[in-house]
Amino acid sequence: MIERFAEIIGENELDSIYKIAEKLKGMSVLHVNSTPAGGGVAEILSKLVPLMRELGINTDWKVIRGDTEFFKVTKSFHNSLQNGIGELPQGAFETYKKWQEINGNELDLDYDIIFIHDPQPAGLINFKRKGKWIWRCHIDISNPYEPVWNFLREYIQKYESVIVSSAVFARDDLKNPQYIIPPSIDPLSIKNRDIPDITVKRILYKFDLDPERPIITQISRFDRAKDPLGVIRAYKLVKKHSDVQLAYVGSPASDDPEGEEVYKETVQAAGNDKDIKLLVLPPNSDLEVNAFQRGATVVMQKSIKEGFGLTVSEALWKKKAVIGGNTGGIPLQIIHGINGYLVNTPEEAAHYALYLIRQKSIREKLGEAGREHVRRNFLITRELRDYLMVAALSLGS
């Protein structure tokens, strides 16, 4: 499977991966996160784990369990870490500790290297029996709500090292070594590989979108951090000047109990405009997502907080000009004016969306630059190599 990437990344890059993996052969590696599907972490692990196995590394992936109360707590942690404002359920810390203990006693954690993804399972470090433990943070922790950060930091400081997605997320108050590993996409997956135009049109028609008219697309959870109301606002501003349509496409995730509530808010904001399609698709609707991105005139990721935003790289890979929120990991992917535009308000988003709808040659120029930027920086093979490097360094190999 990994050989199929050679024509995209080149033989030298592939050879470097094999050389690092050689140092880890026979080692056991475990990834732990909080959901098997939905969201970027699960998506990356679904690609990364098979590739590590193919390289001869004994790699497993386990998902912690929890009840609704636990995931409300961890969602509140997520929001407070990214927004710097805390609104926690009563007894939040006790609930968190209870489920760490349940999972810590249930999961087999005897591995040579363990990657713990995000805050939800971070407390498992208290059940460490062997190996090197690495906390991989996928969200923006540069300006956290201090009570939550201080609570989690007591766990995080016990890890051998920490991985964050961007240098701006690194923390001065951690003594652990911190590595920078941006997330990535799999260019050969169903979501990202080339598909025929007829397939794109068939799927757009299926969801009552007209491929002959301009389409703004945002692929995101129904999450306030993704600013769905801001997307609606931007669309309505563009609509005054263009016969545009909006496709906001999301999937539910088991660790995000706020999704339904935010969806209802978005439906209310959309009103009775028949050109706004708010779609909740099952996780792994990869072909549909591929088609929505390829069929878009403009792709938007108007987040107001964002760990990385894989959908930006997905769209850039498809040669789409992307308008992204100027936050988190999005500026790593979008170079303003070169492969897309960074914005801070719905008004700015509307301005650039209308400009791109009217300027096909500019869209194409930005799209070409975007694909090359992703090829060089945000493909799964680069992230695989980075993980192998961190693992090798942790073991002193």
CA 254 to chain centre: 15
pLDDT of the residue at 254: 66
Contact 385, 355 (CB under 8 A): no
> Does the pLDDT of residue 192 top 70, yes or no?
yes
Q: At what angle do helices 11-22 and 380-395 cross, to 10 degrees?
A: 30
**CA-based nearest residue to 49, from 117, 132, 140, 122:** 117
Residues 74-99: pLDDT tens digits? 999 999 998 888 889 999 999 999 99
Please tell me the distance from the alpha carbon of residue 41 to that of residue 37, in angstroms, as a whole number.
8
Mean pLDDT of all residues in 300-317: 94
Please tell me the distance from the alpha carbon of residue 394 to that of residue 388, in angstroms, as a whole number.
10
> Does the pLDDT of residue 187 top 70, yes or no?
yes
Is 0.75 topped by the overall pTM? Answer: yes
CA dihedral 259, 265, 266, 267 (to 10 degrees): 110
Residues 9-24: pLDDT tens digits? 999 999 999 999 999 9
Residues 338-383: pLDDT tens digits? 999 999 999 999 999 999 999 999 999 999 999 999 999 999 999 9
Phi, psi of 34 (to 5 degrees): -115, 0
Band of pLDDT at residue 251, cut at 50, 70 and 90: confident
Identity of the amino acid at 68:
T
pLDDT of the residue at 351: 98
